[in-house]
Amino acid sequence: MEEENLSLPGNPRYQPEDLKPIFGYDNLYKPWGEIELAKLEVMKEIGMIPASVWETLTDDQTKKILNIRTTKTDDIEHKITKHDVNAHVRLIKEIVDPALARFVHMPLTSYDKIDTGEVIKFRRAFVQIIAPKIETLIRELALLTKTFAGELQIGRTHGQHAIPITVGFWFATILYRVTYNYLKMCEFTSCLCGKISGATGTYNAQVALGFEKFEDKETFEKKVLRKLNLNPAMISTQILMPEQVSYFLFSAVMMSASLGQLGRDGRQLMRTEINEITESFMKGQVGSSTMAHKRNPINFENTEGMWLKNKNEFGKVLDTLISEHQRDLVNSSIKRDFPIILVNLTYQLNTLLRVDKNDEERATFIKRIKVNKEKLENNFKMDANYIMAEPIYISLQLAGYPGDAHRLVNETLMSVAEEFKCSLTDALMKQADKDEKLADVIATIPSEIMELIRQPEKYTGKAEKKANEIADWALYQIAIS
Q: Where are the beta strands (DSSP E) in 91-239?
A: 152-157, 160-166, 193-194, 231-232
> Do 368 and 402 belong to one domain?
no
> Do 101 and 235 belong to one domain?
no
CATH of the domain at 44: 1.10.275.10
> Do 117 and 63 belong to one domain?
no
Q: Is residue 122 part of a domain?
A: yes
> Do 129 and 92 belong to one domain?
no
| b/e code 331-345 from CB counts within 10 Å (16+ = b) | beeebeebbbbbbbb
Among 58, 82, 106, residue at a domain's last position: 106
CA distance to 194, 415, 416, per residue, from 454 (Å): 64, 18, 16
> Do 140 and 160 belong to one domain?
yes
Q: Is residue 124 part of a domain?
A: yes
Q: Is residue 476 part of a domain?
A: no
Given phi > 0 = left and psi -120 to 50 = alpha, else beta, which region is 97? beta
Q: Is residue 478 part of a domain?
A: no
Q: Is residue 481 part of a domain?
A: no
Are 454 and 423 spatial neighbours (Cβ–Cβ below 8 Å)?
A: yes
> Do 343 and 200 belong to one domain?
yes
> Do 124 and 171 belong to one domain?
yes
> Do 312 and 210 belong to one domain?
yes
> Do 127 and 91 belong to one domain?
no
Among 325, 342, 375, residue at a domain's last position: 375
pTM (2 decimals)?
A: 0.94
> Do 87 and 149 belong to one domain?
no
Number of domains in the chain: 3
| Integer Rg of the chain from CA | 31
CA distance to 133, 260, 376, 471, 475, per residue, from 478 (Å): 12, 21, 31, 11, 5
> Do 194 and 312 belong to one domain?
yes
> Do 296 and 405 belong to one domain?
no
Domain that holds residue 135: 112-375
Q: Is residue 263 part of a domain?
A: yes
CATH of the domain at 120: 1.20.200.10
Task: Print pLDDT tens along the chain (481 aa).
Answer: 678 999 999 999 999 999 999 999 999 999 999 999 999 999 999 999 999 999 999 999 999 999 999 999 999 999 999 999 999 999 999 999 999 999 999 999 999 999 999 999 999 999 999 999 999 999 999 999 999 999 999 999 999 999 999 999 999 999 999 999 999 999 999 999 999 999 999 999 999 998 987 667 789 999 999 999 999 999 999 999 999 999 999 999 999 999 999 999 999 999 999 999 987 766 666 655 566 566 778 899 999 999 999 999 999 999 999 999 998 889 899 999 999 999 999 999 999 999 877 776 788 999 999 999 999 999 999 999 899 999 999 999 999 999 999 999 999 999 999 999 999 999 999 999 999 999 999 999 999 999 999 999 999 999 999 999 999 999 999 999 8
- Widest CA span of the chain, in angstroms? 106
Q: Is residue 144 part of a domain?
A: yes
Q: Is residue 5 part of a domain?
A: no
